[in-house]
Chains A and B, each alone.
Chain A
Amino acid sequence: MTATQDIVPQTQNQAEDLENLNRVWRHPRGVLGWLSYTTHQAIGMRYIVTAFIMLLAGGIEALLIRTQLAHSNNTFLGPDHYNEIFTTHGTTMMFLFAVPMMEGMAIYLVPLMLGTRNVAFPRLNAFGYWMYLGGVLFLYWGVFTNAAPDMGWFAYTPLSGPQFTPGKRTDIWAQMITFTEVSAMCVAAEIIATVFKMRAPRMSLNRIPLYVWSMLIQSFMVLFAMPAIMIASSFLLSDRTVATHFVNPAEGGDPLLYQHIFWFFGHPEVYIIFIPALGFASAIVSANCRREVVGYTAMVLSQIANGFIAFGLWVHHMFATGLPQIGEAFFTASSMMIAITSGVQIFCWLATMWTGRIRLTTSMHFIYGFIAIFALGGMTGVILASVPLDLQAHDTFFVVGHFHYVLIGGAVFPLFGAFYHWFPKMTGRLMNETAGKLNFWVLFVGFNLTFFPMHILGLKGMTRRIYTYPPEMGWDQLNMLATIGAWIIAIGGLIFLANVFWGRRYGTVAGNNPWDAESLEWAAASPPKNYNFEYLPVVTSRAPLWVPPEDRTFVTGLRNDRREVLVTTLMDAEPHHRYVLPRPSIWPFLTGVAVTIGFIGSVFDAWYITFGSILTGICLIGWFWPSRPVELEP
């Protein structure tokens, strides 16, 4: 599809337009300039790289856990260290890897797929990244100063309360939550606004790529789920630091309330991680089967249904807490119901593969792996949705096996597929396919070797969160198997890293559209220019790049001497007005620093809330203060 380059409009001042675009969208220079970037590719890449480092950190923690559990009566880690490491592992993977990684991919891809130049609020986007980085640094500052949280990634009260966990470990955990949730909510608001108002002309809602739908649904879920965890962690933190009694049963609070609010967030969280992965799968399947995904409407509706049902599942994490039976029955039913909507999507992909011309790329391998593993994880999920079985398996390794099948199978495998799929777009070069397939098989074998034995161990009675076990339990062999699997996964990770570094340097130059895929990001250069498209495209089909080049239309008349984009109407994406995006600015970074001072300080002294608020207020005023009046004239 190199033809796309020749068929842009040949206007008289094309050279001047291009020069203007390059000048207006250029990144500011220097360290201060680097802190002021607001383009979505740069911010998205920062999220992706930071989240990948967190994946490595969480992976190393997982290896430590598995090494400790390799055989009975192991003394590699003591109980305290073990508690810290499994808490940090869970916290890192859920809050610092999975969600930010999905957000980062979306920040990078969504504006490209929508055919626009940036997200709707570029400065908010930059601020969101600094908040996320603040959370990362805060938690790992704790880890390296012997203040890592040690009460489990969900910090159940009363164990995590001031009475049983004194010190700052839990406070650091709770405030790290606040950082990452602020970041996630910034991203969610801007993704929805971008999808609603900045689509390419005529890209009506029923033409947006399935990946963008998945991010739209995920972002709405973030808006309604993340406030719950902020309330939960704030309850915990204020009980610990300013002596409130939200979850203190001695003074008219309720510890179980914490679990309710936590899981009201925690269950949707699983889908917040998983739904973007469904979008990856749709994009990879349609590109590699060379046809549109079967059942677009069914896919979208079942994803929306997933989004809704996900909010009605939280109690299935709490079956063992002694809730009324009618409640348990309701949550069993809804937990099983979500298998229907997930099943619809699996069958849509299978039908697409059945009727398409499959190209067995590495990314396609990862999608096959995803479907196989996720189906298994889904089945153990249906098992756990049933109250009597859940009561037997609760807090055993069966649950650990189940959720790693769902989360790694459901999110990490499609994510690796997405890395292989979009790597050429982000870097301009392809990764090695042979090494990629090796990468897949090593990960697939290692994964199953690690987590399948956990189901059996769970059924044999091995409980979660124990740091060791006596030899007479008979768990040694299966645990050794799981530990070997974990090290094989680590080898898979190294192959991936090597492939990334190899690909960046020696990979085949990709061109705009190496997979001959249909969505708009493949019309941009690889890697994309800061402005993405020289002329914004007009979209007349769900597969805009599979429309013959002579039938395509381009937008002209946007001013190129400022960061101007097109705003379109919500439903039909008819052009409505032009919108000038703000220039790069240091204020989002300074605001991030101010909020960080407030957040971190408030763990130690409540007055920092006031101090931080004033600092933040000053920074926000700087952020919004009118700049030189050069913009916004017609």
Chain B
Amino acid sequence: MREVKTLDVSHLPPYEISSQAPLWWGQLFITFIEGTMFSILIAAYFYTRLRMDVWPPPGDQFPHIGLPTVSLVLIILSAVGSYWASEAAKRADRMGVIWGLLLNLVLAGAALILRIIEWHSFNFNWKTDGYGSYIWAFLGLHTFDYISDLVFTLVLLVIAMFGRLGPRQRVGVHVDSVVWYFIVLIWIPIYIVVYWGPWLVGTQQ
């Protein structure tokens, strides 16, 4: 019988929690898609602004800066919790995962409440005019992502507390942190456009 050359891979680990995992890449590409969507929305906002003489249109209030900025700081801090949980997941440290995810959820939840309080003070909605449509598109899309990921994080927390924290779940915690970093990072330009935009490129009253 002819000798056949073989490459034995039985010594390789059966899973990996890092940027070598296919799931990490898949998640990265999903963030490309979302990032492109928000970029196009930002471009459309400025395109529309260029076509208008008065921005925001007469009657729409200028945004407040205070609460949204506090909210922004909280969102950025919540990424620390994500990072903590993700590093703990790599070490299979159940308590670290639980505390990290809790910190993430608490800070992100507080930031969300501030955001919702703030949008209740608007004197326009998406039906008012083009400007209102954009502001609510930014807030709506981002908040949709935001809440979706919070729910997923909550599920992970429940699994970590009461269920089995196996390799697949730990990869889930790690990838969840990638999603959360994206949601935090993309919020920074959106925050600038939504809350500073009228002050920077608008017509002062």
Query: Does B127 reach chain A (CB closer than 8 Å)?
Result: yes
B13 and A193 contact, CB distance less than 8 A: no
Closest residue of chain B to A618 (Cβ to Cβ) is: B151
Shortest CB-to-CB span from A39 to chain B, Å, is 17
Q: 0/1 per residue, A345-373, Cβ < 8 Å to B? A: 00000000000000000000000000000
B14 and A224 contact, CB distance less than 8 A: no
Chain B residues contacting A566 (CB-CB under 8 Å) are 9, 12
Chain A residues contacting B172 (CB-CB under 8 Å) are 624
A252 and B57 contact, CB distance less than 8 A: yes
Shortest CB-to-CB span from B110 to chain A, Å, is 22
Q: How many A-B residue pairs have CB under 8 A?
A: 199
Closest residue of chain A to B10 (Cβ to Cβ) is: A557
- In the assembly, what is the distance between CA of A628 and CA of B25, in Å? 26
Partner of B7, one of A257, A553, A617: A553
B33 and A185 contact, CB distance less than 8 A: yes
Chain A residues contacting B9 (CB-CB under 8 Å) are 201, 555-558, 566, 575, 578
- In the assembly, what is the distance between CA of A474 and CA of B120, in Å? 64
Closest residue of chain A to B52 (Cβ to Cβ) is: A252
Query: Does B37 reach chain A (CB closer than 8 Å)?
Result: yes
Give 27 A-B contacts (CB < 8 Å), ordered by A residue.
A10-B4, A121-B23, A196-B25, A197-B22, A223-B32, A223-B36, A226-B33, A227-B34, A228-B40, A230-B37, A242-B126, A244-B133, A246-B137, A257-B44, A257-B47, A553-B4, A553-B6, A553-B7, A555-B8, A556-B8, A557-B12, A577-B15, A580-B14, A617-B148, A617-B151, A620-B152, A631-B166
- In the assembly, what is the distance between CA of A566 and CA of B130, in Å? 51
Q: 0/1 per residue, A271-293, Cβ < 8 Å to B? A: 00000000000000000000000
Q: What would 4 more interface pairs be, CB under 8 Å, given A243-B126, A553-B4? A: A196-B25, A228-B40, A231-B44, A254-B130
Partner of A632, one of B11, B26, B51, B167: B167
A632 and B168 contact, CB distance less than 8 A: yes
Query: Does B116 reach chain A (CB closer than 8 Å)?
Result: no
A557 and B11 contact, CB distance less than 8 A: yes
Interface of A with B (CB < 8 Å)? 7-10, 120-121, 124, 185, 188-190, 192-194, 196-198, 201, 223-224, 226-228, 230-231, 235, 238, 242-246, 248, 251-254, 257, 260-261, 264, 535, 538, 550-559, 564, 566-567, 569, 575-580, 613, 617, 620-621, 624, 626, 629, 631-634
Partner of B16, one of A223, A235, A567, A634: A567
Query: Does B20 reach chain A (CB closer than 8 Å)?
Result: yes
Closest residue of chain A to B151 (Cβ to Cβ) is: A617
- In the assembly, what is the distance between CA of A617 and CA of B152, in Å? 9
Chain B residues contacting A251 (CB-CB under 8 Å) are 128-130
- In the assembly, what is the distance between CA of A426 and CA of B23, in Å? 28
- In the assembly, what is the distance between CA of A352 and CA of B129, in Å? 59
Query: Does B83 reach chain A (CB closer than 8 Å)?
Result: no
Chain B residues contacting A185 (CB-CB under 8 Å) are 30, 33
Partner of B131, one of A223, A252, A613: A252
Chain A residues contacting B131 (CB-CB under 8 Å) are 252
A7 and B4 contact, CB distance less than 8 A: yes
* Total residues of chain B contacting the partner, CB 8 A: 60
Shortest CB-to-CB span from A11 to chain B, Å, is 8
A621 and B36 contact, CB distance less than 8 A: no
A577 and B7 contact, CB distance less than 8 A: no
Closest residue of chain A to B133 (Cβ to Cβ) is: A244
Partner of A261, one of B40, B127, B155: B40
Chain B residues numbered 159-187 whose CB sits less than 8 Å from any CB in chain A: 159, 163-164, 166-169, 172
Chain B residues contacting A631 (CB-CB under 8 Å) are 166, 168
Shortest CB-to-CB span from A168 to chain B, Å, is 20
* Chain B interface helix/strand/loop/mixed: helix
A254 and B6 contact, CB distance less than 8 A: no
Chain B residues contacting A198 (CB-CB under 8 Å) are 22
* With contact pairs A246-B130, A252-B57, A257-B48 given, residues A576 and B20 touching in the complex (Cβ less than 8 Å): yes
* With contact pairs A228-B36, A253-B48, A577-B12 given, residues A244 and B127 touching in the complex (Cβ less than 8 Å): yes
Closest residue of chain B to A626 (Cβ to Cβ) is: B164
- In the assembly, what is the distance between CA of A252 and CA of B6, in Å? 67
Chain B residues contacting A197 (CB-CB under 8 Å) are 20, 22, 25
Chain A residues contacting B80 (CB-CB under 8 Å) are none
* With contact pairs A120-B26, A189-B29 given, residues A245 and B129 touching in the complex (Cβ less than 8 Å): yes
Partner of A556, one of B10, B29, B126: B10
A246 and B133 contact, CB distance less than 8 A: yes
A190 and B4 contact, CB distance less than 8 A: no
Shortest CB-to-CB span from B134 to chain A, Å, is 8
B37 and A248 contact, CB distance less than 8 A: no
* With contact pairs A556-B6, A557-B9 given, residues A224 and B48 touching in the complex (Cβ less than 8 Å): no
Chain B residues contacting A7 (CB-CB under 8 Å) are 2, 4
Chain B residues contacting A621 (CB-CB under 8 Å) are 155
- In the assembly, what is the distance between CA of A393 and CA of B19, in Å? 51
Most chain-A Cβ atoms within 10 A of its Cβ — which of B16, B29, B137? B29
- In the assembly, what is the distance between CA of A558 and CA of B7, in Å? 10
Closest residue of chain A to B16 (Cβ to Cβ) is: A577
A555 and B2 contact, CB distance less than 8 A: no
Shortest CB-to-CB span from A272 to chain B, Å, is 14
A253 and B133 contact, CB distance less than 8 A: yes
Chain B residues contacting A620 (CB-CB under 8 Å) are 152
A9 and B29 contact, CB distance less than 8 A: no
Chain A residues contacting B40 (CB-CB under 8 Å) are 227-228, 231, 261, 264
Most chain-A Cβ atoms within 10 A of its Cβ — which of B15, B52, B134, B148? B15
Query: Does B92 reach chain A (CB closer than 8 Å)?
Result: no
B48 and A553 contact, CB distance less than 8 A: no
Query: Does B114 reach chain A (CB closer than 8 Å)?
Result: no
Chain A residues contacting B10 (CB-CB under 8 Å) are 556-559
Chain A residues contacting B33 (CB-CB under 8 Å) are 185, 189, 223, 226-227
Shortest CB-to-CB span from B59 to chain A, Å, is 11
B25 and A192 contact, CB distance less than 8 A: yes
Query: Does B41 reach chain A (CB closer than 8 Å)?
Result: yes
Chain B residues contacting A626 (CB-CB under 8 Å) are 159, 163-164, 166, 168-169
Partner of B6, one of A9, A121, A223, A579: A9
Closest residue of chain B to A119 (Cβ to Cβ) is: B22
Closest residue of chain B to A253 (Cβ to Cβ) is: B130
Shortest CB-to-CB span from B153 to chain A, Å, is 12
Chain B residues contacting A575 (CB-CB under 8 Å) are 7, 9, 12
- In the assembly, what is the distance between CA of A264 and CA of B37, in Å? 12
Q: Which 3 A-B residue pairs are closest in the complex by CB-CB distance?
A: A557-B10, A252-B130, A244-B133
- In the assembly, what is the distance between CA of A254 and CA of B151, in Å? 36
